[in-house]
Each structure stands twice: as structure tokens, then as C-alpha cells.
């Protein structure tokens, strides 16, 4: 049935959980689609040398072969296969094969080798798969020696290579051929067994791994397919990495659950300018019906002329960071296609709420909750433990919390999850928002100070801890600065010890050796006389975000050729911005601001633009 409203969702739930979710594990989901249409295309990966195409029947055979291979290499129900590779057909095979043999642990290969080594130990990995040497992106040559230097002694297989990979313990694709055939073991556990570990939250410090059950992943996949009305004839562009829950479940397994085709842009994903720079031609040539992209990419697509027939495109789906209303409206005007938003977290396999394809896009809304889940707004609990019994009324702002089949059982280290997993099956998101009378979820801010850059979460504490290790820094705070492309960029504020001067370049170089994820390196560090504080003495970050927002707006104006004297900028305490510009400059400044996740009004004054 098509879902457009809360009443539709409740009618779906009236059918019962077993009727709506007959397959409770990712393997069952994929195998069911293969049984319905074995020759249909499951994966199509674009490569410079040509396409890799896997039917559903061939995909299931490869998943089984991968599981058999992993079992021979020591993977059991309690051990994991670590995947350090971009989104490719081989990586998809390894992801689901690992969950049959034991557990999967996809990891961002751009993390520092020492941090990856800690994640491998925390996940109890039995082997590692790394993308091998190739002409497009060489991860192997630096990463594998780095892992060995960090003490990793596990077998390391290469995949997707087109050149020799020094130190490889075998080529994944070749080993698959030797393990083809029926599954050679009984699948351990049921739908509640741990299927995967996903890292989140930290750029430095102890590893933080989220546990996913098979049901978590299958529930999110099928729920997203229902709310997005995915069909067997859909071709869904999915360039998200598989270490991101959107790539694996929200747009990946969901498409497979509907029997549709996942179109993988290739090793570079959506960072391939040959693909994204000709996006509308790709839509026509590949028969794309659903285009999934973070808001930053939507903004980039808006800069590409629609020079092709995109009549077959049904929708553009987005999430991972706040969706500015102006960006959504501009995209809909340009394409004539609906844009739909999603709210998710790694801790619930990627989805809390989804805007239904057949419902209206509501500015500021993230859509309806997942089927058979509960989403509420909690009263602010300050520094105490979350109290899930204290819930706000409809329309009142609180801290978004949820429970349901999508919610993870917690972190591998339960001590790290008291605020996030307070018990009773609840997950506290840290987002501030409300639920309206139509059941739509709105996010209006964050209790947590996570910085979201291009859909990836950056923990500001990691940046702050690294800054505080510098002898000149007395206090430090990191916040997100609005950015039209990335959504947010990390910036930092410091107070200095008596007699110290800020050498920004030297401080950034100092951080580069201490922050594991390059994306977390601050774009700007400013020294201030004193940190703004709350009445109880904590850093008041909204005041710092207000300053950072002013920086972003000033930079956008300068990019439009407007001098500091020509633009008036005001940012209020709710981060709503008002700009006054010379007559004739309004449209180009609005275009420059279109991707920023802030509320901006632009007005003109009558004088010549510089």
C-alpha cells in the first residue's frame, strides 16, 4: 500500500508485524527478491573499463561463496570481517557474506591506521578486506603498511584491484570462485543476533562501535522501501559508502528488498566528477528513477544544467544533514521532481523518520516515524540521566527519543551509552524537536554538539581534547560552521595561556597528527578573550555558533564579490540571519547561501553593487 499520512501508516501497522515484515534478516530479504526475479539486476557498478552487473541469483551465489570463504578464515558467529573499502559490488558481497558467517564491521578507510587497529580489536575481527591498488584510488599502498605498523597481524585480502597489492594475503574475487556452492554451515543465531558493528561519534579516543541486529537492518530497509514506495522497476543511484548506514540500509538494502537495481557510481562514488558533473545525462542513460544524495550534492546538482530527458526520474531522496527549505525548493523547481527528507542515526540502522514519497514535503519536517516504532519528545533533563517517562505534548519542543525494531541494542562498551541508551528499549537521539498533530517529526536543533559534515558525524570533544593538549591552549571549544556544500564545517575557538600567541597554522599542524579523521580537522581556529558560559559554568556553544555563522555569511558574500562594507549581517540568538545587500546582488547571494542549513532572509538597499 502507498503511505502518505499517519493514518496510512497506522493502517499498515494494523496488518500486523509478521505480515509487513515477513523477512527478518538481510539475507532473507535479498534471497526473497532473488526468488521472485532471479534474472533481474541487483547491482550495476560503473567502472572506467566497463560495467559490473550482478543479477539477484548471481548476487546470492556470491554472498554464499563469501560466507563460505570467511568461515574457512576463522569467522564465526562471534567474530567479524572488517571492510575498508568504498562502495563497490565486491564490498556489497563481502558485507552480506560477513553477516552470514559472523559479523561485518565496515570502517572508514580514511581513519588513521592506529584508530582502525583499535576498532579491529574492539570488533574482534578475524580478517580484513581492503580495496587494492587501482588507477582511480589507491588506498592500499598507505593503509596496509600503516595497519601492519600499528600491530595488525590479521589476514588482509585485497578487492577491486587492477594492479599487484604488496603484502596481500589473497584476492577476494579469486577466492570467491574457490568457495562457490551451497552454504557449508548453519547460520548462527536468529534475527536478534548481532549482524554488524558500525563506528560512530569519535575522531579520537577509545573506539565507539554500535551493534546492529539482523532485525534492525531488515526493519529499516523494508520500512524505507515502503515509505519511499520503492519498486522492482526502480534504478536507485547509491553512491554512499557502506560504512555509512545510508549506503548500506536506507538506500541499499531497501532497494534490494523491493527487487530494484542499485546503481553504484564506482570506486569514487559521488566524488567522481565524471558522474556528478553529467548527472542528468546519467539519469537518462542509466534509466535512473531514484537519486539519493546528501543536501550538499543536491546543491551541486542544482549547478548542472538539465541537459537530458529526466522524465523517468521519480524522486530525489536526501538525508544525513539538515535539508534547507530553499535548497529543496530550488531542486524541485529545477527538476520538476519531489525532494524527500529523512532523519536517521547509526544507532538505529539509519532511520528514525522518513518523508513519504506520496505525502507532501513539509518545510522543516523529517517525515513520519518508522512502522511499529514510537517517537516522542522528552522534557529537558539537563545533566541528569534521561527520563523517558517525562514526555512533551504534541507540538512542544523536547529531546527526540525513539524505540522500536530499528533501535540498536547499544554500543559494544555499554558504559559509553548511558545517555543514549537509557533502558527500556529507548534511544535518545540528542536532537531537539517536536512531533506535530499529523505525526510528522521536526528537528529544530541539537542537544548534543555533534558536527555534521557532508552527512558524517564529527565529535567536537575529540577536536577539543586535541587542542587542550597544546601547551598554549587554556580552553577550547569546537562547533559547526554552516557551509553551502558540506552542511557544516568544524571550526574551533580557544583561549590562550598568559603570554601565548595564536599561530593558527602551527596549531592546525599540531592537530593533524592527533586527529584520526581528516574531515574533523578545523577549517579555522580563533582565539577569544573568554569563553561564553552558561550560568553553571559550561561553554555556551550557541554563542560560538553565532560567531561561526557570521563567518560563513561573510565568506559567502565575499565569494559573490561583495565587500564587507557593502553587506549588513545580523545573526540572532536562534541563528536566524538577516542580510542587507546592494540592489542587484540579492539573487546571486541567495544562490550562494542555498545549501546552508540556516534560516536566512536577504533584503536590498538602493545603492550600486560594488
What are 141-189's pLDDT values in tens digits?
Answer: 999 999 999 999 999 999 999 999 999 999 999 999 999 999 999 999 9
Place of cell 543479477: 55
The angle that helices 541-559 and 586-593 make with each other, rounded to 10 degrees, is 130
pLDDT of residue 394: 92
pLDDT of residue 201: 61
Q: Report which of 215, 188, 177 is spatially closest to residue 80, judged by C-alpha positions.
A: 188
Residue 48 CA to residue 112 CA, distance in Å, equals 29
Using the CB atoms, write b or e for 97-110: b if 16+ within 10 Å. Answer: bbbbbbbbbbbbbe
HEC sequence for 402-450: EECCCCCCEECCHHHHCCCCCECCEEEEEEEEEECCCCEEEEEEECCCC
Place of cell 557474506: 97
What cell was used for 363?
518545510
The segments of the chain whose pLDDT lies below 70 read: 201-206, 321, 446-448, 534-538, 606-610
**339 Cβ neighbours under 8 A, 6+ residues apart:** 298, 315, 316, 317, 318, 323, 328, 331, 332, 361
DSSP-derived 3-state class of residue 156: strand
pTM of the complete model beyond 0.75:
yes
Q: ∠207-211-213 over CA atoms, to 5°?
A: 165
CB 215 within 8 A of CB 464: no
HEC sequence for 15-40: CCHHHHCCCCCHHHHHHHHHHHCCCC
pLDDT of residue 399: 93
Residue 569 CA to residue 587 CA, distance in Å, equals 16
**153 Cβ neighbours under 8 A, 6+ residues apart:** none
CB 310 within 8 A of CB 337: yes
Residue 123 CA to residue 104 CA, distance in Å, equals 9
pLDDT of residue 206: 62
pLDDT of residue 447: 63
Alpha carbon distances (Å) from 103 to 93, 193, 195, 214, 450: 13, 9, 5, 10, 28
pLDDT of residue 318: 92
pLDDT of residue 535: 54
pLDDT of residue 559: 86
Please list the helix, strand and coil fractions of the chain in percent, rounded to the nearest 5, in that order: 35, 25, 45
Residue 74 CA to residue 64 CA, distance in Å, equals 16
Amino acid at each position: 500500500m502507498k503511505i502518505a499520512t499517519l493514518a496510512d501508516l497506522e493502517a499498515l501497522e494494523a496488518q500486523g508485524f509478521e505480515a509487513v515484515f515477513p523477512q527478518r534478516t538481510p539475507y532473507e530479504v535479498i534471497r526473497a527478491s532473488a526468488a521472485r526475479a532471479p534474472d533481474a539486476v541487483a547491482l550495476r557498478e560503473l567502472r572506467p573499463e566497463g560495467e559490473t552487473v550482478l543479477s539477484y541469483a548471481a548476487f546470492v551465489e556470491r554472498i554464499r561463496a563469501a560466507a563460505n570463504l570467511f568461515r574457512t578464515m576463522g569467522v564465526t558467529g562471534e567474530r567479524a570481517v572488517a571492510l575498508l573499502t568504498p562502495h563497490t559490488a565486491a564490498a556489497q558481497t563481502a558485507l552480506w557474506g560477513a553477516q552470514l558467517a559472523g559479523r561485518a564491521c565496515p570502517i572508514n578507510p580514511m581513519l588513521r591506521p592506529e584508530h582502525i587497529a583499535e576498532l579491529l580489536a574492539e570488533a574482534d575481527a578475524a580478517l580484513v578486506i581492503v580495496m587494492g591498488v587501482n588507477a582511480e584510488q589507491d588506498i592500499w599502498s598507505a593503509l596496509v603498511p600503516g595497519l601492519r605498523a600499528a600491530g595488525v597481524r590479521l589476514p588482509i585480502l585485497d578487492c577491486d584491484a587492477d594492479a599487484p597489492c604488496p603484502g596481500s594475503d589473497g584476492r577476494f574475487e579469486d577466492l570467491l570462485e574457490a568457495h562457490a556452492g551451497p552454504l557449508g554451515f548453519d547460520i548462527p543465531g536468529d534475527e536478534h543476533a548481532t549482524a554488524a558493528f558500525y563506528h560512530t561519534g569519535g575522531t579520537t579516543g577509545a573506539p565507539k562501535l554500535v551493534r546492529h541486529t539482523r532485525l534492525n537492518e531488515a526493519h529499516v530497509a523494508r520500512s524505507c522501501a515502503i515509505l519511499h514506495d520503492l519498486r522492482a522497476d526502480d534504478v536507485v543511484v547509491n553512491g554512499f559508502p557502506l560504512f555509512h548506514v545510508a549506503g548500506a540500509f536506507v538506500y541499499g538494502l531497501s532497494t534490494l528488498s523491493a527487487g530494484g537495481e542499485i546503481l553504484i557510481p564506482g570506486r569514487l562514488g559521488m566524488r567522481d566528477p565524471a558522474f556528478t558533473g553529467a548527472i542528468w545525462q546519467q539519469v537518462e542513460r542509466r534509466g535512473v528513477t531514484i537519486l539519493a544524495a546528501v543536501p550538499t550534492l543536491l546543491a551541486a546538482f542544482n549547478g548542472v544544467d538539465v541537459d537530458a530527458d529526466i522524465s523517468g526520474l521519480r524522486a530525489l531522496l536526501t538525508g544525513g544533514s539538515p535539508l534547507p527549505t530553499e535548497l529543496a525548493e530550488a531542486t524541485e523547481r529545477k527538476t520538476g521532481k519531489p525532494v524527500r527528507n529523512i532523519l536517521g542515526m547509526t544507532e538505529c540502522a539509519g532511520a528514525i523518520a522518513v518523508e513519504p514519497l506520496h505525502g507532501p514535503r513539509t518545510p522543516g519536517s523529517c517525515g513520519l516515524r518508522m512502522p511499529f516504532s514510537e517517537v516522542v519528545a522528552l522534557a529537558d533533563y539537563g545533566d541528569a540521566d534521561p527520563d523517558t517517562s517525562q514526555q512533551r505534548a504534541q507540538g512542544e519542543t523536547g529531546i527526540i527519543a525513539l524505540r522500536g525494531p530499528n533501535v540498536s541494542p547499544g554500543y559494544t562498551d555499554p558504559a559509553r551509552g548511558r545517555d543514549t541508551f537509557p533502558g527500556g528499549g529507548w534511544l535518545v537521539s540528542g536532537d531537539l524537536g517536536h512531533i506535530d498533530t499529523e505525526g510528522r517529526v521536526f528537528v529544530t536543533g541539537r542537544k548534543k554538539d555533534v558536527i555534521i559534515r557532508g552527512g558524517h558525524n564529527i565529535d567536537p570533544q575529540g577536536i577539543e581534547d586535541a587542542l587542550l593538549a597544546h601547551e598554549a591552549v587554556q580552553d577550547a571549544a569546537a562547533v559547526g560552521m554552516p557551509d553551502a556544500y558540506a552542511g557544516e564545517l568544524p571550526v574551533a575557538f580557544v583561549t590562550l595561556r598568559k603570554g601565548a600567541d595564536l599561530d593558527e597554522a602551527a596549531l592546525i599542524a599540531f592537530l593533524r597528527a592527533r586527529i584520526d579523521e581528516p574531515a574533523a580537522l578545523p577549517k579555522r581556529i580563533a582565539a577569544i578573550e573568554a569563553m561564553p558560559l552558561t550560568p553553571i559554568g559550561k561553554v555556551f556553544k550557541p554563542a560560538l555558533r553565532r560567531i561561526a555563522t557570521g563567518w560563513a555569511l561573510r565568506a559567502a558574500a565575499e565569494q559573490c564579490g561583495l565587500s564587507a562594507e557593502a553587506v549588513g549581517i545580523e545573526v540572532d540568538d536562534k541563528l536566524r540571519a538577516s542580510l542587507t545587500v546592494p540592489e542587484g546582488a540579492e539573487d546571486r547571494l541567495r544562490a550562494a547561501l542555498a545549501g546552508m542549513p540556516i534560516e536566512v532572509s536577504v533584503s536590498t538597499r538602493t545603492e550600486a553593487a560594488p
